[in-house]
Structure 1
Amino acid sequence: MKESPSKSLIILAFISIYIVWGSTYLLNKIAVTELPPFYLASIRFIVAGILIFIIARILGHSLRITQKQFLNTLFLGFLFLSYGNGVAVWALKYVDSGFAALEVSAQPLVILIMMYVLQGKKIQPMSIVGVVLGVIGIYLLISQKEILAQENSIIGILMIFSVMLFWGYGSLFVRKADLPSNYFVNTGFQMFNAGIILAFMSLVFNESWSLPNTWQTDTQWSMVLLIVFGSIIAFTSFNFLLKHVSPEKVATNTYVNPIVALFLGWLFLNEKITVQSIIAAIVLLAGVYFINTKKKLVLFERFKK
């Protein structure tokens, strides 16, 4: 029988996906201004995957996995990273980093609905309130004149929504999937496979490739931080949490990511934070709160009875 991980390890993993992933919107936005999106993501994940394999071997972990495990890591790598991250980075060419993070904050709502549709999981009354608030928040967010006035902003909005669907399905699939037991090995295969897929996607879209020594300094540093913190540390933490915590709780990183992304986008990229965006953020996060506190509320209702 497997030992349950310590609470401190789970807390550290949550801090990783809360804070680090919030900063990746800024880092991707900086890098995508110079590099094509699929090429950018491909380099990031191939390098990160190789480094994770090296770390795993140094720690004495075997890289041997079964055919089924390989196929599952290939599938999840596509859902989470090839499409999930590659298309999200592409969308940042059309929308601000803070806006993208706010839209993604509705991810728990998407997962809740997918769990209902695909798994038949009942939606509790308080979660219905969360769904309604989430829909209102999304409307307030994407209906802003400042957003709609940006060229191809609708394309960026739809891209991010499709990413949420792929990411949501992957979060449900991973719970029962046969994957490498070691989290470094699991993450390494997902990233390396995704990076190879992204390289082919980059070729199909005829993106221009360049060597790192020709990139601007800001782009080089963004890539290093994305590889080390956004990929190796945060994504390993994400895979770890999905095996030990329910998917909708893991998705609560969207509580914090938008705040971090909005602040960093404003601080470093001079992105505007509109009053309507703030209102939309409050409504969206209130919806996420209702969705993720439903169990406590249900227990409270039972206690009253």
Structure 2
Amino acid sequence: MELKSNASQLPIPRLLLLIAPFFFWGTAMVAMKGVIPHTTPLFMAGVRLIPAGVLILIVAAWMGRPQPKGWDAWLWIALFALVDGTLFQGFLAEGLLRTNAGLGSVMIDSQPLAVALLCLWLFQEHIGFWGWLGLGIGVTGISLIGLPDEWILHFFNSDTIVEIFSTASIQQLFASGEWLMLLAALSMAVGTVLIRFVSRHADPVMATGWHMIIGGLPLWGISSAVESGQLQNIVPSDWFGLGYATVFGSAIAYGLFFYFASSGNLTSLSSLTFLTPVFALLFGNLLLQEVLSPLQWVGVSLTLVSIYLINQRETLPGVSKKVATSEKTITQQQQVLEASAKTINKVTLPVRKSESEMLP
């Protein structure tokens, strides 16, 4: 299934499947809010991976998808598991304990910028002016959603700017969990790009299931060695949250995401990550009565604008004109070739005729 950069041209059912991973990730964040204080981070990260990977393998086998074969396939899956499974979930879980949840969400969901740069370098995916503008607006939007209002309102104060970029603030940044969240975002971006290489050697759905199991086992191993009290404080309602996050937030979400990422435009697909905090915010407001501030509503609007710009970057003014010019040039070249061919035929036919007259 190919992901077009112009998402508006997709049929409605396919478009809903395309958005589904980000909806499930956002709502899973809401479901996990009550679970996080009752368990340990690495154990919870393993729970989100290993059972979900088993579910994906069962569904993939039922669909008749082939198992990975050969050393190349398993080596790529192992690398995929290390980066997108162990490192991403590990950095994310540990970073959430050491940073503000809103700031952590902003830093994680800014990974489309890293994906865009990697795809520009590795696959020469076109980004252009509208694409970069959309990415910038998207980061601004999720910043308005996740960062405290007082940070934003006082950001342009000269004293505030000096304080933010002071040596003490930078040291405080790396002493807390922000750098772990940055590493998590980078790991997710690299994992998104890696699936393109993995799918050359193995079925992308099967590879997704195996990478979740292989990547989750080290997390459980480290958890058993350095953590304690993983299950003692979990209440019955927590199991519902864990179940939703595992089935919908991991198995279905990752299965769909990496299925689309294996063959589609990664810049366009990754830009939909900006929807994750939007869904988390809206359902937090609906289910947990969390109040949205005016700045957060502005952030939601900017996020939707950014996704439109990124996914419509090939058809917006300027780009479409270049495409039309290229098509016109190709048509003119074809006309010149056809005219040349007719001229050659007119020249060669008399020659052939005179040669035949010379025959006895």
Task: Specify the alignment match of 2:116 in structure 1.
Answer: 112
Q: Which moved more, 1:120-129 or 1:74-83?
A: 120-129
Alpha-carbon separation, structure 1, partners of 2:13 and 2:239: 31
- Specify the code of the residue in structure 2 equivalent to 1:173: L
Alpha-carbon separation, structure 2, partners of 1:15 and 1:133: 19
Is the 1:265–1:271 contact (alpha carbons within 8 Å) kept by the matching residues of 2?
yes
Deviations 1:100-144 (A, max 9, x none): 545444332332233335556564122332344355456655474
Alpha-carbon separation, structure 2, partners of 1:103 and 1:272: 22
| Matched ranges for 1:183-222 at <5 A | 183=205, 185-203=206-224, 206-211=226-231, 215-222=234-241
- Specify the code of the residue in structure 1 equivalent to 2:129: P
1:52 to 53, 56, 65: 56
Alpha-carbon separation, structure 1, partners of 2:273 and 2:263: 18
Structure 1 length as normaliser, TM-score? Answer: 0.79
The structural deviation recorded for 1:191 is: 0.9
Q: Which moved more, 1:218-227 or 1:20-29?
A: 20-29
Alpha-carbon separation, structure 1, partners of 2:188 and 2:21: 14
Q: Which moved more, 1:260-269 or 1:134-143?
A: 134-143
Deviations 1:147-173 (A, max 9, x none): 99xxx9984444333222111122222
Residues 59 and 138 of structure 1: is their aligned pair in 2 closer, same or farther, counting only changes over 3 Å? Answer: closer
Is the 2:195–2:204 contact (alpha carbons within 8 Å) kept by the matching residues of 1?
no
Residues 80 and 304 of structure 1: is their aligned pair in 2 closer, same or farther, counting only changes over 3 Å? Answer: same
| Matched ranges for 1:173-252 at <5 A | 173-177=194-198, 178-181=200-203, 183=205, 185-203=206-224, 206-211=226-231, 215-252=234-271
Residues 135 and 26 of structure 1: is their aligned pair in 2 closer, same or farther, counting only changes over 3 Å? Answer: closer
The structural deviation recorded for 1:43 is: 2.4
2:40 to 20, 36, 49: 36
SS in 1 for 2:227: coil
Q: Which moved more, 1:276-285 or 1:257-266?
A: 276-285
> What is the CA RMSD across the aligned residues, in angstroms?
3.5
Identity score, percent: 22
Correspondence 1:16 to 2:37: no
The structural deviation recorded for 1:22 is: 1.7
Is the 2:50–2:216 contact (alpha carbons within 8 Å) kept by the matching residues of 1?
yes
Gaps of at least 5 residues in structure 2 are 4-9, 153-163, 165-171, 326-360
Residues 195 and 280 of structure 1: is their aligned pair in 2 closer, same or farther, counting only changes over 3 Å? Answer: same
Alpha-carbon separation, structure 2, partners of 1:217 and 1:71: 39
Gaps of at least 5 residues in structure 1 are none
The structural deviation recorded for 1:232 is: 1.8
| Matched ranges for 1:1-305 at <5 A | 10-61=14-65, 63=67, 65-93=69-97, 94-96=99-101, 100-117=104-121, 123-134=127-138, 136-137=140-141, 142=147, 144-145=149-150, 155-177=176-198, 178-181=200-203, 183=205, 185-203=206-224, 206-211=226-231, 215-297=234-316, 298-302=318-322
- Specify the code of the residue in structure 2 equivalent to 1:243: S
Q: Which moved more, 1:124-133 or 1:168-177?
A: 124-133
The structural deviation recorded for 1:284 is: 4.5
Residues 187 and 172 of structure 1: is their aligned pair in 2 closer, same or farther, counting only changes over 3 Å? Answer: closer
The structural deviation recorded for 1:247 is: 0.7
Deviations 1:258-286 (A, max 9, x none): 22100222344454533333334444543
Alpha-carbon separation, structure 1, partners of 2:140 and 2:246: 35
Deviations 1:66-111 (A, max 9, x none): 2222222222223223222333233444433x66545444332332
Residue correspondences, number: 296
